[in-house]
């Protein structure tokens, strides 16, 4: 059964976010401090699993999605080297950029995209958005109060302010926020990477937790970049889609 066409909320959620979060737990475990005590090739196994899962997914999605996955990988490589290696925003266990990370960005992007576009999810969009917003506010506030996570809280506030006027993609970005939270909690628990005690380890007035709560704000740059590259390569098709959508909205009104 197609995720996008499914009428089952549970099926659509488990087939997208459920599998994604399960992969976080299993995949990152292979690069965790647990495996480091057993083998020196922990990161190799994590890279191998990521590539297998990525290509299985890649060969089972439409051409349009394949292109967006490739764009996400390219932007992911650039973003990782910029934020981790150049700016020192966070550091991986071996102080490198694991190969599974840029491919993982594409995997996260597609899973969240399919979830937010599924029919069973869209008919519940407003309820899900409200639930996710409340959850995000509670989570960021807890991190602020108990972990002094000013950096994460500021980014969370910025995220919610941006999404306030972005109704069409709000569900996607709220879901991305929560997905990144789970990814970061698992990754830092396994000690696959860590965040410094202040933003960029430089901005002393922005103390940070490990991980900061609102770090998904930087993932949004990946999402926007992926979509922008796709639009640039398919301007006419994108414009036709916008015209059809505007016409449909006009008829409904």
Q: Say which residue the tokens 């996955």 belong to.
A: 69
How many domains does the chain contain in total? Answer: 1
Residue 4 belongs to some domain of the structure = no
Residue 1 belongs to some domain of the structure = no
Residue 130 belongs to some domain of the structure = yes
Average pLDDT of the segment spanning 57-83: 89
Residue 119 belongs to some domain of the structure = yes
pLDDT tier, 45 (very low <50, low <70, confident <90, very high otherwise): very high
Q: How far apart are CA 180 and CA 109, in angstroms?
A: 10
Cβ atoms of 65 and 11 closer than 8 Å: no
The model's pLDDT over 173-222, given as tens digits with 9 standing for 90+, comes to: 999 999 999 999 999 999 999 999 999 999 999 999 999 999 988 887 77
Alpha-helical regions (H) of 164-234 = 170-189, 216-233
Q: What does the mean pLDDT of the chain come to?
A: 88
Residue 224 belongs to some domain of the structure = yes
Q: How far apart are CA 201 and CA 90, in angstroms?
A: 9
pLDDT tier, 72 (very low <50, low <70, confident <90, very high otherwise): confident
Residue 87 belongs to some domain of the structure = yes
Quick check: 248 pLDDT over 50?
Answer: no
Residue 38 belongs to some domain of the structure = yes
Return the pLDDT at 68. Answer: 86
Q: Say which residue the tokens 């976080």 belong to.
A: 24
pTM: 0.89
Quick check: 154 pLDDT over 70?
Answer: yes
Residue 2 belongs to some domain of the structure = no
Element (H, E) at 248: helix 235-252
Tokens of 145: 């109060």
Cβ atoms of 183 and 108 closer than 8 Å: yes
The model's pLDDT over 7-38, given as tens digits with 9 standing for 90+, comes to: 899 999 999 999 999 999 999 999 999 999 89
Range of 142's domain?
9-252
Angle, helices 125-147/150-163, rounded to nearest 10 degrees: 160
């Amino acid at each position: 059964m197609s995720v996008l066409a499914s009428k089952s909320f549970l099926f659509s959620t488990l087939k997208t976010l459920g599998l994604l979060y399960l992969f976080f737990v299993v995949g990152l475990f292979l690069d965790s401090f647990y495996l480091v005590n057993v083998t020196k090739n922990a990161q190799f196994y994590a890279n191998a699993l990521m590539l297998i899962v990525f290509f299985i997914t890649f060969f089972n999605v439409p051409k349009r999605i394949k292109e967006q996955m490739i764009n996400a990988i390219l932007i992911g490589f650039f973003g990782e080297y910029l934020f981790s290696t150049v700016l020192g925003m966070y550091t991986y266990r071996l102080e490198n950029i694991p190969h599974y990370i840029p491919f993982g960005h594409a995997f996260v992007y597609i899973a969240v995209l399919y979830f937010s576009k599924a029919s069973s999810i869209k008919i519940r969009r407003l309820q899900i958005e409200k639930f996710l917003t409340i959850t995000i506010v509670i989570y960021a506030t807890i991190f602020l109060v108990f972990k002094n996570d000013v950096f994460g809280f500021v980014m969370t506030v910025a995220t919610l302010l941006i999404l306030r006027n972005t109704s069409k993609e709000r569900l996607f970005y709220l879901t991305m926020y929560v997905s990144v939270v789970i990814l970061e909690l698992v990754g830092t628990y396994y000690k696959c990477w860590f965040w410094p005690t202040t933003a960029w380890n430089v901005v002393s007035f922005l103390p940070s937790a490990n991980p900061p709560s609102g770090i998904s704000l930087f993932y949004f740059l990946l999402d926007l970049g992926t979509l922008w590259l796709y639009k640039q390569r398919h301007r006419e098709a994108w414009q036709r889609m916008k015209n059809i959508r505007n016409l449909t909205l006009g008829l409904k009104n």
